[in-house]
Structure 1
């Protein structure tokens, strides 16, 4: 059974100048444990789609089902990582990570043990009393992910989570984040306009058209070697074939 079902989803924005269609009849399903990327040209509505799926926006029509129930009844199952880490500079790493638990009044010994385990497992336990401005960009993103994982969500929504980093940091943090998601056995949907990033992380890629966005193509990603990191995938012979195919799809989007 699918974990997440997106059914006949459409979105129109309304203004004094009239109606602007953003998404048109989007349909797809997500299975537990999958890592899916939503790829498309700038301005096509990728982030809008992610915000609707996560329950932050209401669609003009269509439905989002989580285990066959309305997504809005399951918001506690969702974790969301934004483009920027949104860490509070005036409090420590430890206090930043605990913010969600405090807001939801879920501070328990079990939750604190889980946070400590995550910090230890992902190389941040020595930095929990540091402030965000004392960390590298990659470390900040790991803190942001651990803050999200502290609430133990079942599914993660990633809105271009590496775009604020320089290229080298982006590659390293992408490896880190994907390793963590896989180890924690989470389902993930990532929005990106970076073809290489989508291929290196995903089991499946959904390519969106220009606005009003529709799913142009669905690409299954498979490599002959198993358990490759995102960085290792980039060096495999299959990578260039996927890249060329997806480049053509995106190039046609811009025509």
Structure 2
């Protein structure tokens, strides 16, 4: 079922030097339960597009519809993960995770139970009274994701969520985040510059052209075994085929 529709999105920036068009007539759809990645050359406006889709930024033209309504009317359905975990160092894991619930005055007993279940299910319940400085980078990202999931969003926007981690940690956290998102049956849209990351996590990869960015191609990603982890997918023969195709598309990004 179609969950999100991006229709004719364009974005222009104005300065003393004139007008710069970042995005031009962007169109695509996101189905319920899909994990989609957006790839494109550096500076093409990937994060700008993500911010427009999540309602954080107003486009110059076009609409983003959530189940047929403006995304602006459905901001409570959205969760956002940034490049950094933005955990408060003076708060414990528990205090960080419930922060959004406290701000929205939704910290009911039912909500506390759900948070405890999330921490338990994803290996963090023993660390609920620890501080962020006592956690590994991967654990911090899991805490940040659980903080987002505590508000029970239907769709997650991820802006290069693994970029602050070293390579080994990225591989491990990719598996963790994928498992959590799929277990919780969430729809996810991720911006990344990492082709391998996009292939291993996604059911579809959208490649943007150079600025002004358009959708150059949408590449469905399919592996015969649906139970493979992102790390296991990297060892599949089809992974290399997808990588070569996306590499070619990114290196010929004019339209």
Fold equivalence (TM over 0.5): yes
User: Are residue 251 (structure 1) and residue 217 (structure 2) matched?
Assistant: no
CA distance in 1: counterparts of 2:54 and 2:222, whole angstroms = 27
Partner of 1:32: 32
Give the length in aligned residue pairs: 255
Kindly indicate whether the alpha-carbon contact (under 8 Å) linking 1:50 and 1:191 is maintained by their aligned counterparts in 2: yes
Partner of 1:5: 5
CA RMSD of aligned residues (A): 1.0
Kindly indicate whether the alpha-carbon contact (under 8 Å) linking 1:37 and 1:191 is maintained by their aligned counterparts in 2: yes
Kindly indicate whether the alpha-carbon contact (under 8 Å) linking 1:12 and 1:22 is maintained by their aligned counterparts in 2: yes
Partner of 1:155: 155
Question: How far off is 1:215 after superposition?
Answer: 0.5
User: Are residue 176 (structure 1) and residue 176 (structure 2) matched?
Assistant: yes
Partner of 1:208: 208
CA distance in 1: counterparts of 2:15 and 2:88, whole angstroms = 34
Question: How far off is 1:17 after superposition?
Answer: 1.2
Kindly indicate whether the alpha-carbon contact (under 8 Å) linking 1:81 and 1:156 is maintained by their aligned counterparts in 2: yes
Kindly indicate whether the alpha-carbon contact (under 8 Å) linking 2:4 and 2:66 is maintained by their aligned counterparts in 1: yes
CA distance in 1: counterparts of 2:37 and 2:67, whole angstroms = 20
Kindly indicate whether the alpha-carbon contact (under 8 Å) linking 2:216 and 2:253 is maintained by their aligned counterparts in 1: no
Deviations 1:93-133 (A, max 9, x none): 11011110011110101100000000000000011111101
Partner of 2:105: 105
CA distance in 2: counterparts of 1:242 and 1:218, whole angstroms = 12
Kindly indicate whether the alpha-carbon contact (under 8 Å) linking 1:157 and 1:190 is maintained by their aligned counterparts in 2: yes
CA distance in 2: counterparts of 1:82 and 1:166, whole angstroms = 16
Deviations 1:122-151 (A, max 9, x none): 000011111101000000000000000000
CA distance in 2: counterparts of 1:41 and 1:231, whole angstroms = 24
Secondary structure of the residue aligned to 2:98 is helix
Secondary structure of the residue aligned to 1:169 is helix
Mapping of residues 133-148 of structure 1, within 5 Å: 133-148=133-148
Please, what TM-score do these two structures have when normalized by structure 2?
A: 0.99
Partner of 2:217: 217
User: Are residue 21 (structure 1) and residue 21 (structure 2) matched?
Assistant: yes
Mapping of residues 226-241 of structure 1, within 5 Å: 226-241=226-241
Partner of 2:80: 80
Secondary structure of the residue aligned to 2:91 is coil
CA distance in 1: counterparts of 2:225 and 2:129, whole angstroms = 40
Question: Given the superposition, is the C-alpha separation of residues 242 and 75 from structure 1 closer, same or farther in structure 2, using an over 3 Å criterion?
Answer: same
Question: How far off is 1:226 after superposition?
Answer: 2.0
Secondary structure of the residue aligned to 2:218 is strand
User: Are residue 43 (structure 1) and residue 43 (structure 2) matched?
Assistant: yes
Question: How far off is 1:224 after superposition?
Answer: 1.6
Q: Which residues of structure 2 form unaligned runs of 5+?
A: none
User: Are residue 186 (structure 1) and residue 186 (structure 2) matched?
Assistant: yes
Please, what TM-score do these two structures have when normalized by structure 1?
A: 0.99
Secondary structure of the residue aligned to 1:224 is coil
Kindly indicate whether the alpha-carbon contact (under 8 Å) linking 1:41 and 1:254 is maintained by their aligned counterparts in 2: no
CA distance in 2: counterparts of 1:254 and 1:119, whole angstroms = 45
Question: How far off is 1:15 after superposition?
Answer: 1.0
